[in-house]
């Protein structure tokens, strides 16, 4: 099974005021994402507040997303845990959900394993399933970097390890990977602000946070970059770069959920230890959303 190129959305998880899953809002988000031209979806990634979901909720989110997508685009399942046995078990469960097309798994968090520990961890996850496995390198969250040499060893050791989401923020490291990975192995940008740089180096696409808010625009930007239409890609990047940066004014997904609530897409509810964004951040986000026309879109939609 081939893994996609282009722009995938790391979906947020909408909650109700009582902190239960807002299943209706999640289905509506999936429908909107697909109608906007997104290339694939990631359910239960970092942006989804997955550490705050219990096992039943995690599985429920996977099922809601795949059922709403109905085979129209690929859906990746986030299967990350700091215990290898638990990560393996989650991958096995996710692989049995109809409509899941790949497993996305980050390095074990907090444990700070060595490169050899990460190699054995990911090898165990990949051996447990037949689906493609996408590695996820995000040192700011996990405390450890997944070195290019380890990624290359994993790609050689397990044929179903077919890509890496690179969120190290280290463009030289990402470029090193792009120039050495085997044919068919995809290197994805994991940070919106690195997308054009990674594509320019030869990357395959982006797993995006900003596409939660502007899926059509981010999809168009990535498609243009992959087709060497750099004028269009740069124009879109210039227009939405402030939003890309704003999504990390506070811990993600706080700002992106705040903007989606302003757009009328979700209720702005979180689970501790995350809280709503501070008043100053909210005021800045409101101004930016208005300047970009995101709030106006919501008003126009209600008027139809």
Average pLDDT rounded to a whole number, residues 117-138: 98
Residue 264, number of CB atoms within 10 A of its CB: 13
Per-chain mean pLDDT for the chain: 95
Catalytic residue among 136, 188, 240, 270: 136
pLDDT band for position 300 (cuts 50, 70, 90): very low
Residues 262 and 268: their CA atoms lie apart, in Å, by: 9
Three-state SS string over 129-148 comes to CCCCEEEEECHHHHCCCCCH
Give 228-287 pLDDT, tens digit per residue. 999 999 999 999 999 999 999 999 999 999 999 999 999 999 999 999 999 999 999 999
pLDDT at 297 over 60: no
Provide CB contacts within 8 A for 55, sequence distance 6+.
none
The answer to whether 214 and 14 are in contact (CB under 8 A) is no
pLDDT at 302: 40
Residue 170, number of CB atoms within 10 A of its CB: 16
pLDDT at 41 over 90: yes
Total residues belonging to the chain: 304
Q: DSSP string covering 89-157, please? A: HHHHHHHTSTTEEEEEEEPPTTT---HHHHHHHHHHHHHT-SS-EEEEE-HHHHS----HHHHHHHHHH
Please, what is the end-to-end C-alpha distance for the chain in angstroms? 41
pLDDT at 178: 96
Three-state SS string over 227-261 comes to CCCHHHHHHHHHHHHHHHHHCCCCCCCHHHHHHHH
Active site annotation includes 165: yes
DSSP 22: -
pLDDT band for position 295 (cuts 50, 70, 90): confident
What is the domain partition of the chain in residue ranges? 6-229
266-301 per-residue burial string, b: 16 or more CB within 10 A, e: under 16: bebbbeeebeebeeebbebbeebbeebebbeebeee
Give 59-116 pLDDT, tens digit per residue. 999 999 999 999 999 999 999 999 999 999 999 999 999 999 999 999 999 999 999 9
Strands 205-208 and 40-43, by their bridges, are unpaired
> How far, in whole angstroms, is CA 172 from its chain's centroid?
22
Active site annotation includes 109: no
**Encoding tokens for residue 261?**
């609530």
Residues 49 and 268: their CA atoms lie apart, in Å, by: 13
pLDDT at 2: 78
Give 183-241 pLDDT, tens digit per residue. 999 999 999 999 999 999 999 999 999 999 999 999 999 999 999 999 999 999 999 99
Catalytic residue among 110, 112, 123, 165: 165
pLDDT at 1 over 70: no
The answer to whether 148 and 161 are in contact (CB under 8 A) is no
pLDDT at 299 over 80: no
Smallest CA-to-CA distance from 170 within 146, 142, 134 is with 146
Q: Where are the alpha helices (DSSP H) in 46-101?
A: 55-69, 84-95
**Least confident interval from 125-139, 152-166, 172-186, 285-299:** 285-299
Beta bridge partners of 8: 40, 207
pLDDT at 288: 97
CATH 3.40.50.2300 fits 6-229, yes or no: no
Beta bridge partners of 234: none
The answer to whether 205 and 196 are in contact (CB under 8 A) is no
The answer to whether 5 and 38 are in contact (CB under 8 A) is no
């Amino acid at each position: 099974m081939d893994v996609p190129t282009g722009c995938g959305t790391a979906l947020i998880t909408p909650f109700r005021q009582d902190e239960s899953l807002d299943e209706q809002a999640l289905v509506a988000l999936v429908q909107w994402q697909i109608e906007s031209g997104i290339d694939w979806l990631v359910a239960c990634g970092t942006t989804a507040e997955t550490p705050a979901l219990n096992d039943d909720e995690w599985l429920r989110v996977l099922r809601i997303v795949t059922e709403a997508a109905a085979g129209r685009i690929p859906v990746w399942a986030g299967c990350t845990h700091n215990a290898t046995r638990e990560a393996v078990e989650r991958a096995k469960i996710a692989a049995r959900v109809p409509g899941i097309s790949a497993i996305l798994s980050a390095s074990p968090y907090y444990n700070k394993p060595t490169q050899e520990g990460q190699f054995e961890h990911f090898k165990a996850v990949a051996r447990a399933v037949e689906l493609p496995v996408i590695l996820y390198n995000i040192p700011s969250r996990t405390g450890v970097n997944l070195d290019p040499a380890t990624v290359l060893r994993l790609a050689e050791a397990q044929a179903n390890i077919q890509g890496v989401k690179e969120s190290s923020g280290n463009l030289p490291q990402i470029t090193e990977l792009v120039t050495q990975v085997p044919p068919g192995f995809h290197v994805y940008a994991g940070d919106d602000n690195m997308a054009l740089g990674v594509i320019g180096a030869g990357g395959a696409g982006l797993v995006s946070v900003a596409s939660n808010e502007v899926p059509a625009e981010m999809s168009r930007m990535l498609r243009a970059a992959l087709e060497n239409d750099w004028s269009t890609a740069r124009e879109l990047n210039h227009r939405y770069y402030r939003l890309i940066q704003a999504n990390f004014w506070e811990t993600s997904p706080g700002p992106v959920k705040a903007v989606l609530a302003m757009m009328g897409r979700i209720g702005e509810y979180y689970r501790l230890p995350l809280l709503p964004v501070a008043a100053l951040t909210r005021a800045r986000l409101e101004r930016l959303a208005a300047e970009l026309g995101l709030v106006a879109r919501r008003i126009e939609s209600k008027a139809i």
